[in-house]
Chains A and B, each alone.
Chain A
């Protein structure tokens, strides 16, 4: 622990958490630069850095700024949003499975997007809007159902969520069977989750939403840590438990919905990032910053691997899905070992 005191500002920072965050920033930056340099026209690290510093030649500048940077930025922002949302949900539900992709919110976004794609034949922006609405409606339904019988309980949230997820999956499958072949292809592709062909028009909406949601999440980080002591203890210490939790769930659902709307439901980032970050920092508090950074790194690195390994533009959702499956298996396996 290191105490930092400036005029009017005093914080306490765990050295290990700070070191982990710094390392994650460096790794994420490196992966991003590599990713920007990779493709049909390879650029060296020097060339990429020159463009980022505003001193690249016109061709390189075009490739970086128009073609590749928006894709990497989208991955960074979406990964960060998933990471933070996952950390909040896992902490509120006291369960490492309590992440938005397991408890149905992501599936709700998919349903919302499908309705727009298949029935309304909407534009990309309308699909995103449908995804946000679908996610929000599912979240509200799951939250209210989990609340039955007094107080939110982590296990109930996870179980109700898994049930909702399964039902929505059936709805999604039904929608696809009713669709034309082109629509069904578009929907199936959207469902995998991808950052392919993302331009600045994708970056700005996510960036704007995150500019509001991330500070809100960070301001709620201390009440979140207090809630882990149990409601009675938290309330005795002056935390308005129900109100804080509702605000936290709202922020996390917002982050999930915005991220899903922009790239489709990229699997497992929200589930794995907070857990990996927590194991690295060994902190007892839900580290939102480290989880967000880890999410960004996971997504950018997965996208890099997906592009590099199989020189076709493989949707990153397939990569994170494969990695996440291994992770989930390990989580269940080690969980059994302990209990």
Chain B
């Protein structure tokens, strides 16, 4: 039994049903990456796992108990989420933003402890943003900003972290930088990470557990090298392709078929 799992999930926005009878188990200590075409329900699933979306049927279980019946602040000490929609308040410094991640550990009369100080310093060191502590978040580059947000989620010190498309709006170098950082966090700190990603090749390279979704259902899951094949990519994304070994890592690399070959 894993710490985070969902059973018989029916997720819907108003009238639009996104998933029906969906079950998933997030392996403890894994770097799980969820992939799938646009509107396949992967972000919706992540929001449900983070208790931001209440399932119509079924439930999400954290440590064996329904997540929605546990106090929200208590859940926030075990399960963190970096949403896509997070907004940096006007004029906030990086250090202040990272410190906001400590909220679930604080109380009205105990607003700032030594633990908070340590957690913020460690999170900023781990993400390499210690030097940016006093900079205004809005004035940072996209890659720096995303690392600051990651530091905030890190400062929450939860054993499980959910990341909703952490690489969107970043250029290729910053994408790799952020994913390397996530892989480090997973390997060195033993956290369970669950990320939604667009790029299938990134997912294959970094995931220890890959979940492929289509039309609100899980089509395949497992270790990327056991899971990803040309047939699966065709089935999930409708993309004819070849799958070869990544020359760097030996993980699957998806190469889309060319419709037209340009003369060399």
Per a CB cutoff under 8 Å, which of B47, B89, B103, B110 touches A237?
Answer: B103
A-contacting residues, B101-120, CB 8 Å: 101, 103-104, 106, 108-113, 117
Report if B11 contacts A (CB, 8 A). Answer: no
Question: Of all chain B residues, which has the CB nearest A234?
Answer: B103
Report if B181 contacts A (CB, 8 A). Answer: no
Q: Give the shortest distance, in Å, between B219 (CB) and chain A (any CB).
A: 27
Question: Of all chain A residues, which has the CB nearest B162?
Answer: A236
The answer to whether B109 and A233 touch across the interface, beta carbons within 8 angstroms, is no
The answer to whether B72 and A229 touch across the interface, beta carbons within 8 angstroms, is no
Instruction: Give Cα distance in the complex from A4 to B111, angstroms.
Output: 10
Chain B residues lying within 8 Å of A232, measured Cβ to Cβ, are 47, 52, 81, 83-86
Report if B247 contacts A (CB, 8 A). Answer: no
The answer to whether B86 and A233 touch across the interface, beta carbons within 8 angstroms, is yes
Number of residue pairs across A and B with beta carbons under 8 Å?
93
Instruction: Give Cα distance in the complex from A4 to B112, angstroms.
Output: 8
Knowing A3-B117, A10-B112, A11-B112, the reply to whether A236 touches B92 (Cβ < 8 A) is: no
Instruction: Give Cα distance in the complex from A4 to B93, angstroms.
Output: 20
The answer to whether B81 and A236 touch across the interface, beta carbons within 8 angstroms, is yes
Per a CB cutoff under 8 Å, which of A8, A9, A10, A284 touches B96?
Answer: A284
Q: Give the shortest distance, in Å, between B155 (CB) and chain A (any CB).
A: 10
Knowing A232-B85, A236-B52, the reply to whether A226 touches B111 (Cβ < 8 A) is: no
The answer to whether B85 and A237 touch across the interface, beta carbons within 8 angstroms, is no
The answer to whether A3 and B76 touch across the interface, beta carbons within 8 angstroms, is no
B-contacting residues, A1-54, CB 8 Å: 1, 3-5, 8-12
Secondary structure at the B interface, as helix, strand, loop or mixed, is loop
- A213-251 Cβ-contact flags toward B at 8 Å (1 or 0): 000000100100110111111011111100000000000
Q: Give the shortest distance, in Å, between A280 (CB) and chain B (any CB).
A: 12
A-B contact pairs, 17 of them (CB 8 A): A4-B112, A9-B110, A10-B109, A222-B106, A222-B108, A226-B103, A230-B87, A232-B52, A232-B84, A233-B86, A236-B80, A237-B100, A237-B156, A238-B76, A238-B77, A283-B91, A284-B90
Known: A225-B89, A229-B88. 15 other contacts (CB 8 A): A3-B117, A222-B106, A222-B111, A225-B100, A230-B85, A230-B87, A232-B52, A232-B81, A233-B82, A233-B86, A236-B52, A236-B83, A237-B103, A238-B76, A238-B103
Taking Cβ atoms with an 8 Å cutoff, the residues of B that contact A are 47, 50-52, 71-77, 80-93, 95-96, 99-101, 103-104, 106, 108-113, 117, 156
Taking Cβ atoms with an 8 Å cutoff, the residues of A that contact B are 1, 3-5, 8-12, 219, 222, 225-226, 228-233, 235-240, 282-285
Nearest 10 A/B pairs, CB to CB: A238-B76, A284-B92, A238-B73, A232-B83, A12-B112, A236-B81, A233-B86, A238-B104, A228-B89, A230-B87
